[in-house]
């Protein structure tokens, strides 16, 4: 096997181990066994366990980027429409995203925090400014009620926390919480709850949170 192919195979094989044990709990022995290679061979391709974990996070980011919808959101003027579509897209990505990566994030909360920090950094880079500026514009136009300043940042983070928590509830084979609804209905409920929590007026939510509006955001994806 070529070195690049072997490296890729190792990355794919060890993801479940990191998902179960986290960065510090995943021993090189477990990683080698999962990949079907020796520990020495792992170190031949990756100088450290942390480097292997970093390769996985980079692969995850590369698989989910670039996102044309995010580019469209960045190009939109700040306001209620941009806010609604940004929250809708964020919730969609978190709730219906890669289950294995979500398990890595869940495990990291109770261990080293590495994957959780990576996930938070991605939100901060991709969505935080969009939601904050759009919420600020909506409140300035009286389309939303609420505070300003640092509260805008906190409110944006709380949307991410809500969607992520709802995702974690459904990770086990037998979900922690049975919401009694289809995934699409659950996503819609989270979006509505998040937008109301941000203070956006119901009339603005009804106006912009439509299948047609979201479909236009996803055009060509």
Q: Give residue-wise pLDDT tens across range 81-109.
A: 999 999 999 999 999 888 888 888 888 88
Of the chain, the percentage scoring pLDDT greater than 70 comes to 95
The CA-based angle 169-174-175, given to 5 degrees, is 20
- Correct CATH for 3-62 of 1.20.120.350, 3.30.9.10, 1.10.10.60, 2.102.10.10: 1.10.10.60
- Return the number of other C-beta atoms located less than 10 Å from residue 200's C-beta: 26
> CB–CB of 96/44 below 8 Å?
no
Confidence of residue 61 (pLDDT cuts 50, 70, 90): low
For residue 63, the model assigns a pLDDT of: 62
Reply yes or no on whether the pLDDT at 170 is more than 70.
Answer: yes
User: Is the distance from CB of 213 to CB of 109 less than 8 angstroms?
Assistant: no
Residue of 140 and 220 predicted with greater confidence: 140
Residue ranges per structural domain of the chain: 3-62, 66-217
């Amino acid at each position: 096997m070529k070195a690049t192919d072997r490296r890729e195979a190792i990355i794919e094989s060890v993801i479940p181990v990191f998902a179960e044990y986290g960065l510090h709990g995943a021993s090189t022995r477990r990683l080698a066994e999962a990949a079907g290679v020796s520990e020495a061979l792992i170190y031949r391709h990756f100088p450290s366990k942390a480097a292997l974990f970093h390769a996985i996070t980079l692969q995850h980011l590369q698989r989910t980027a670039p996102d044309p919808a995010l580019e469209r959101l960045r190009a939109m003027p700040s306001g209620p429409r941009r806010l609604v579509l940004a929250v809708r897209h964020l919730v969609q990505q978190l709730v219906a995203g890669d289950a294995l990566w979500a398990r890595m994030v869940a495990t990291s909360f109770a261990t080293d925090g590495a994957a959780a920090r990576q996930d938070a950094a991605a939100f901060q880079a991709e969505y935080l400014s969009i939601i904050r500026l759009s919420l600020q514009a909506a409140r300035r136009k009286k389309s939303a009620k609420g505070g300003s300043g640092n509260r805008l940042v906190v409110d944006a983070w709380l949307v991410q926390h809500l969607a992520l928590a709802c995702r974690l509830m459904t990770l086990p084979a037998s979900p922690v919480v049975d919401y009694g609804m289809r995934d699409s209905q659950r996503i819609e409920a989270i979006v509505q709850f998040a937008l109301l929590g941000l203070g956006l007026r119901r009339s603005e939510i009804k106006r912009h949170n439509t299948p047609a509006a979201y479909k236009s955001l996803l055009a060509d994806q």
